[in-house]
Amino acid sequence: ECQNVIFPLNGLQAVEGKFKDPVVCKLRSSITSTPYVIQVDVPLRWHAFELAIQAEARRNNTQVLSLQKCIEIAEDLDFPPDDVKTALTFLSDYNLIVYYPSLLPNVVFTTPQVLLDKVTELTERVYLLSNTGKNPNEICPTRGE
């Protein structure tokens, strides 16, 4: 039987009384009692660029865009081409998108969650392989299959 090695916890359920685990309740309490507010001045053009990237991804039912597509979007906004990579890096620094030019220079993840999901899946598979010696596909098929 397939069991998740890593699984999400909804901390809101602790407050709603749906989840009784005291560790989750304590974690949620600690997180919500810590003020965390960041005010960042974002150039209006960069904000419009980010919204356009997200809209393009939704239109195409994807969470990954090519750098070339982002450049085309920027051109439609009369965005200076030299500013595209700078804007993508800025947006990535604030986790609005994920862009690693040194690792994947032509790929922009429009939703950080898609990358986290893949890293989680990879971690689970490596864990299963190292602890059972079996092919992870035999134990736990790829999600979405």
Mean of pLDDT values over 79-93: 92
| Residues 89-143 pLDDT 10s | 999 998 899 999 999 999 999 988 888 888 888 887 787 777 777 666 665 555 4
pTM of the model: 0.66
Per DSSP, the residues of 52-65 read HHHHHHHHTT-SEE
- Alpha carbon distance, N-terminus to C-terminus of the chain: 16
Block residue for tokens 């600690």: 30
